Amino acid sequence: MLKIIQNKIILLTFGTVISISLHAQQNLKLIYNKPAENWNEALPIGNGKLGAMVFGGVSQEHLQLNEETIWAGEPRNNVPKNTFDSIQKIRRLLNEDQFEKAQDLSNKTYPRAAPKDLNYGMPYQTMGDLFLDFKGHEKFKNYNRTLDIEKAVSTVSYAVNGVTFKREIFASFADNVVVIKLSSNKKGSLNFSVNASTPHLKKSIFIEKNQLIIKGTSGSADNKIGKINFKTIAIPILKGGKITSTENELTISGADEVVIYVSIATNFKKYNDISGNPDQRVSEYLNKALSKKYDAELKAHIEKYQKYFNRVSLNLGTTDQAKKTTDIRIKEFANSKDPDLIALYFQFGRYLLISSSQQGTQPANLQGIWNYQLNPAWDSKYTVNINTEMNYWPAENTNLSEMHEPLFDMIQDLSVTGQESAREMYHARGWNMHHNTDLWRITGIVDGGFYGMWPMGGAWLTQHLWNHYLYTGDKEFLKKYYPALKGSALFYLDVLQQDPSKKYLVVSPSMSPENTYMKSVGITAGTTMDNQLVFDVFNNFINASKVLNEDENLSNEVKTALEKLPPMQIGQHTQLQEWLKDMDRTDDKHRHISHLYGLFPSGQISPFRNADLAEAAKNSMIYRGDKSTGWSMGWKVNWWARLLDGNRAFKLISDQLTPAPMETQGQAGGTYPNLLDAHPPFQIDGNFGCTSGIAEMLLQSYDGYLYILPALPDALPNGSVKGLKARGGFEVDIEWKNSKLTKLIVKSTLGGNARIRIAKNIKLTSKTKLNIAKNENLNEYYQINTIKTPLISDKAKLKGFNAPDTQVFDFNTKKDAVYIFEVK
C-alpha cells in the first residue's frame, strides 16, 4: 500500500512502516545517551589539519587532539643501496621456477626488521589530550550526545540539580581552531578547570597569560627519532565569572558562558622542509579566530562545510529504528529494518573525507586524522597496496572532488622522491614506490622483502590522477600532473622483464599484495594485479599524451610494450587467476583479492563486454567468502556492485554494519559504536570503501555509459539520491519506487554525449530526444581501453554470466544544461 501524506510517502509493507520524505534525508545525526567509555565510542571532528575525538564525559570532558603533521622522523627517504644485483638474481631464480630461493634472497636482501641506516616508515602521532574537570556534576540527568554531520558539530547536554549544561564543539573549517562552547541555562553556573597531557617524551605544559600551552617534539619510545616541534594553545574566553591559574591548570568559576579556542601548529612545511615556526603559526591561527564572534565563527564553519557536504543527499527511507541511539542501531541492524542507517553511514563517510582531507592538507592516513597513540597500528601511515587508495574512492563519485587534492599533492611529492628508488633499486627511469609511505614520502621497501617487494604503489596511485581528469575534464590539472603519469610509464618501460615461457612483458620481482601461492612464498613475476596496473599506467599515459599533444614517439614505444602484457586468465576452478600460473586455491580466504583490481576500482572487467571474466571474478569472490577485515568488506561492496548483484552488496554492507569485536587485532572487521570502521583496530579505509560501494550500487560510469541503479538491493526498494557524480562531468539525481526508476535528472557540466543504461521495461518520458545507443560512445571521457581476449583453462567450466536485461540510450548534452526524465 502506498500513501502520500504531507510530502511523505508512507509504505505499508509486511506490517513495517517505512516513510520516505520526498525532500532531504532527515536524520543526519549520530546520537548517544551516555558519555564515551572508550575511544571507539568518542566522536571524531576535524578540519583537515586538526582532529579531535570528543568523549562527552560529564564530570570530565576529554578531547583527544591531533594535528596532521605530528609524525616521528625527519626528512629523508629509505631507499636501500646496492641491491640491484640481488634483484637481478631474484629475477633469474624466478625464471628458473626456484620460488623458495627467490623468496629467501628477497628476505635476506631486505630484512624483516629495518636495518640501522634505513627505516620502514615513521608513525603518525597524537598531540595529546585536553581535559575539562567539572566539580559537583557526578549526578546528572537527561544526558544527550550527538555528532551532527549536517553541520559538523558535536554536542553534549545534561542537567545537574535542575540546571541544563550544554557544550558545542567543532573543528572550524573557517579558521584553524577547535572551538568548545560551554553554556548553561542559569547564569554563573559554569565552574571547571582546564588541563592537558601529552604522551610525548620531550614536552612542557604550562600557563602563560591565562592560556594553557603544550609544547613538544615528536618521537617515540622505540628509538624512532622525531624532529617535529609542535605548540598547542588553549584560550578560554569568558562571559561573566573569573579565571585563575596554577602552574599548569586554569580554573574558571562562576561564568555564564565560556568559549575555548584551541589550535596546534608545527614546524612542518613540506616533506623536505621543517623550517616552520610553530609559535608564530599557532598565534596567527588563534588571532584570526578570536577576531570573530563565536556565532560568526560557527556560521562561517558551517557554510564552508556545507558547500561540500550538501552537494549530495541520500534518502533510503526511515523506520522507528532511526529513533534509537546509534550504538543500538548498529547492534540491531542485522535483525531490523533500518535503511536510514545505510544513508547515515554513507553520509558519515563523506563527512569523514571532508573532515580529514582539505585542499592544502596532508591526505587522510590509515586513521584519517584521528589517532591517540605514539605507535599506532601500521604506524597509521599510508599503506598503498589498498588502504590509501580506498580512502579516496568516494572522492569523485560522491561529489567531493576538491577533497581529492591532498592525495594528488602527495603523488606529486612521491614522483620526485620515487626517482631515487627507481634509479637505485631498479636502474630505471621515472619513479616508483613500494607498498608504504609516510609524511616524509619514503619510497623504498617497508617491512622487508616479503611484504615490501611490490614496486607498484605509484602505478596504483596515479590512477587517481587520470580518474580525476575523467570526472572533471580539467586539462590544466592533467598538464600539471602529466609528468607523474609519464614518470610512472617510463619506470615500467624499463622494469618489465620477458617471461621465459610465453614471452610476455611482466613486472619481476613483485607479489600479489600480501598473499602467497606456496607456504611463505609470495614473490613472483607477472601477477594479474600487476599486469592490470601496468595496463592502466600505459593507457593513461598514451591517452594523456594524446589529449595534451605531447611525446608521440614515447607514446608509440609504450603502445608496443602494452601489446606484450599478459592477458587475464580464467583458471582451472573457473576463477580469475591471481598469478601468471594457475596456482589459486579454492580455500584461500585472504583479505586481499588484488587481482579483482581489474573489476574495481579499474574498469577492465565488465559484465557486458567480458562476461567470462565477470563470471570468473564472481567465482573468485565466492571462494574467498564475505567476512573479513573492514576494508576488505568495503572493497567487496564495490565488487558486488560492479557484478550487478545488489543483494550480495547489501549483505556485505550488513557485515560491515555488524558491531566490531573488542579485540584490537585480527581480521574480523565491523563497525564501532562511533560508526568508525574496524580492521580491527580502527582503520578508516573501510568507512570510505563502503561509502564508495553504496554510490557504486546507485550509479556507475566506467564502461562507456552511465548505469542508473545498476545494483539496487531488494531491501532498498524506495529512495532517492541527489548530486552523485559520473565521469564526463555529469551530475545525477535518481528517484526510485518499488525497485524501479521513477525519475532521472542529468546535469551536464562539460557537454557531450550522455549514454545511459537503465533496466529494460522502463519507459522514460522527456523533452529530450533519446536515441538507441549504437557503436562506441563518442564522449571523450568514456573511451574504453580494449583488453586482450582472456586465456581460459581447459578445466574451467563457464556457465555464463547473467547480466540483467537493460536498454542503452544516447542524448546530446550542452554544457551547464539540465535534462529531466520521468517514468510514467
**Contact criterion met (CB below 8 Å) for 521 and 100:** yes
Among 699, 21, 782, 66, which residue's Cα sits nearest to residue 372? Answer: 66
Q: What is the DSSP letter of 577?
A: P
Q: 726-761 burial, b for 16+ CB within 10 Å, e for fewer?
A: bbbbbbbbbbbbeeebbebbbbbbbbbbbbbbbbee
Cβ proximity to ligand FUC: between 538 and 600 the closer is 600
| CA-to-CA separations, 84 to 79, 88, 428, 494, in angstroms, rounded | 12, 6, 11, 13
Cβ proximity to ligand FUC: between 387 and 397 the closer is 387
Cβ proximity to ligand FUC: between 83 and 632 the closer is 632
Cβ proximity to ligand FUC: between 165 and 682 the closer is 682
The span from the CA of 139 to the CA of 505, in Å, is: 71
Find the shortest distance in angstroms from Cβ 684 to ligand FUC: 11
Find the shortest distance in angstroms from Cβ 531 to ligand FUC: 21
**Contact criterion met (CB below 8 Å) for 185 and 339:** no
* Contacts to ligand FUC by CB under 6 A: 366, 378, 383, 387, 514, 591-592, 629, 631, 679, 683
Q: Is the peptide bond before 601 cis (omega within 30 degrees of 0)?
A: yes
Amino acid residing at 401: S
Helices 528-548, 475-495: inter-axial angle, 10-degree rounding: 130
Cβ proximity to ligand FUC: between 281 and 591 the closer is 591
Find the shortest distance in angstroms from Cβ 629 to ligand FUC: 5
Find the shortest distance in angstroms from Cβ 218 to ligand FUC: 21
The span from the CA of 693 to the CA of 152, in Å, is: 23
Cβ proximity to ligand FUC: between 380 and 419 the closer is 380
Among 400, 401, 337, 314, which residue's Cα sits nearest to residue 699? Answer: 314
Cβ proximity to ligand FUC: between 136 and 666 the closer is 666
Q: Hey, what's the cell of 108?
A: 635476506
If residue 238 lies in a helix (H) or strand (E), which one and from where to where? strand 229-239
Q: Hey, what's the cell of 495?
A: 622494469
Find the shortest distance in angstroms from Cβ 510 to ligand FUC: 15
**Contact criterion met (CB below 8 Å) for 192 and 132:** yes
Amino acid residing at 43: L
The span from the CA of 689 to the CA of 641, in Å, is: 12
Find the shortest distance in angstroms from Cβ 631 to ligand FUC: 6
Find the shortest distance in angstroms from Cβ 791 to ligand FUC: 29
Find the shortest distance in angstroms from Cβ 51 to ligand FUC: 19
Find the shortest distance in angstroms from Cβ 446 to ligand FUC: 10
Longest dimension (CA), the chain: 84
Find the shortest distance in angstroms from Cβ 686 to ligand FUC: 9
The span from the CA of 179 to the CA of 353, in Å, is: 20
Cβ proximity to ligand FUC: between 468 and 592 the closer is 592
Cβ proximity to ligand FUC: between 157 and 692 the closer is 692
Among 133, 169, 203, which residue's Cα sits nearest to residue 51? Answer: 169
The span from the CA of 473 to the CA of 87, in Å, is: 40
Cβ proximity to ligand FUC: between 511 and 617 the closer is 511
Cα angle 289, 292, 293 (rounded to 5 degrees) comes to: 120
Q: Is the peptide bond before 278 cis (omega within 30 degrees of 0)?
A: no
Cell numbers 564515551: residue: 36
Find the shortest distance in angstroms from Cβ 420 to ligand FUC: 23
Cβ proximity to ligand FUC: between 67 and 514 the closer is 514
